[in-house]
Amino acid sequence: MSKIAFVFSGQGAQYPGMGASLAQASPAAKAVFDLCDSIRPGTSAQCFSGTKEELTVTSNTQPDMFAVEVAAAAALTEAGIQPAALAGFSVGEIGALAFSGALSVEDSFRLVCRRGELMQEASDVADTGMVAVVKLPPQRVEELAAQFDQVYPVNYNSPAQTVCAGLSASMGDFKAAVKAAGGRAIPLRVAGAFHSPFMAPASEGLAEELKGYTFQAPKYVLYSNVTGRPYEGPEGYADLLARQVISPVRWQTIVENMIADGFDTFIEVGPGNTLTGLIGKIDPSVKCCNVDSADSLRTTIEEVTNG
């Protein structure tokens, strides 16, 4: 029997119209959007009809991503598909946290709204950007980044993809160095140097915000971006979540550990299929599906239930 994990999408996968058909197809998904609207009016409208530019603003992106991710997960469980573990990529970890029950959906949504505001504020302080480096191993990317002023590896995505963040002034030369080394640097649709030291003010603000939240033991095993391993106890959640925004996302490590722990079916919940693609590159033998629309929901239900 398959051992299922839900993985929650990361920032950069957002797109206009996301979640609209899902809300129409699933009462459980619509209930999530309604809840988010009650806390942050206009969230569902922004997901369903917001422009690409609106959705790229971090203070919008993060709550909007959360809404679509948790709605997709709710639609799956409504259809009888239950995970045994969860993981989320960057902001997706907040969606996973909510779905796990470690924090209520309401509190998790308030938290992700504040996280988005803090990371937007930190992004506005310096001219920074992010690029995905492909065709080079992580160690080589680390060596190249170390040669430039304030360029950092921040997402360890797969054996052949590492994302770097840093000063825009350094990025041109860094991309040239990547090309000279036989790799390729692809600019990402994000508005800051996430998971780098540039996010220190956001981390500090988030640590203060988290003092007002109480965590419970999760209903499902929940893997941490910071450690690549499951969270060990509610008393450590706040520290890990605050550290997460200035720490590299250990996505490859998370997936490898989940597979070692027996997970063989991964369902990406939330916009796009970026994580589905990365997991396939980490281990092509596992089954990967994604849910972000009515069509993909139907397809995934059929694939999982029919084995």
Task: Reply yes or no on whether 195 is catalytic.
Answer: yes
pLDDT value at 198 more than 90: yes
Query: Is the Cβ–Cβ distance between 14 and 46 less than 8 Å?
Result: no
Handedness of CA 31, 34, 40, 45 (dihedral sign): positive
Q: Which of 125, 284, 238, 141 is nearest to 191 (CA)?
A: 125
> What distance in Å separates the CA atoms of residue 49 and residue 233, rounded to the nearest whole number?
39
Distances 140 to 119, 134, 299 between C-alpha atoms, Å: 28, 11, 39
- Cα-Cα-Cα-Cα torsion 215, 218, 224, 225, nearest 10 degrees, comes to -80
The pLDDT of residue 113 is: 97
Question: Average pLDDT in the 165-181 region?
Answer: 95
> What distance in Å separates the CA atoms of residue 52 and residue 299, rounded to the nearest whole number?
26
Tokens of 149: 């002023």
Q: Residue 262 CB: number of other CB atoms within 10 A?
A: 10
Burial class (CB in 10 A: 0-12, 13-18, 19+), 79: middle
- Of 195, 203, 293, 296, the active-site residue reads 195
pLDDT value at 21 more than 80: yes
Task: Reply yes or no on whether 203 is catalytic.
Answer: no
User: Each residue of 107-133: pLDDT tens digit?
Assistant: 999 999 999 999 999 999 989 999 999
Q: Which of 272, 229, 263, 265 is nearest to 65 (CA)?
A: 272
The pLDDT of residue 191 is: 73
The pLDDT of residue 73 is: 98
| Cβ neighbours for 48, distance < 8 A, ≥ 6 positions apart | 17, 18, 19, 20, 23
The pLDDT of residue 12 is: 86
Tokens of 215: 């965590």
Question: Average pLDDT in the 102-109 region?
Answer: 97
pLDDT value at 189 more than 80: no
Distances 2 to 106, 264, 291, 294 between C-alpha atoms, Å: 31, 6, 18, 23
Query: Is the Cβ–Cβ distance between 224 and 253 less than 8 Å?
Result: no
> What distance in Å separates the CA atoms of residue 89 and residue 249, rounded to the nearest whole number?
7
Q: Terminal CA-to-CA distance of the chain, rounded, Å?
A: 8
Band (pLDDT 50/70/90 cuts) for residue 192 is confident
User: Each residue of 125-171: pLDDT tens digit?
Assistant: 989 999 999 999 999 999 999 999 899 999 999 999 999 999 999 99
Q: What is the mean pLDDT of the chain?
A: 95
Q: Are strands 128-134 and 184-187 parallel, antiparallel or unpaired?
A: antiparallel
The pLDDT of residue 1 is: 65
- Residues found in the chain: 307
The pLDDT of residue 235 is: 83
- Cα-Cα-Cα-Cα torsion 48, 33, 224, 207, nearest 10 degrees, comes to 100
Single pTM value for the model: 0.94
Q: Which of 25-34, 188-197, 200-209, 257-266 has the lowest mean pLDDT?
A: 188-197
- Of 90, 170, 203, 247, the active-site residue reads 90
> What distance in Å separates the CA atoms of residue 123 and residue 126, rounded to the nearest whole number?
6
Per the model's pLDDT, the better-predicted residue between 189 and 89 turns out to be: 89
- Cα-Cα-Cα-Cα torsion 247, 253, 67, 103, nearest 10 degrees, comes to -80
pLDDT value at 291 more than 80: yes
Q: Which residue has the tokens 């009809």?
A: 49
> What distance in Å separates the CA atoms of residue 194 and residue 261, rounded to the nearest whole number?
29
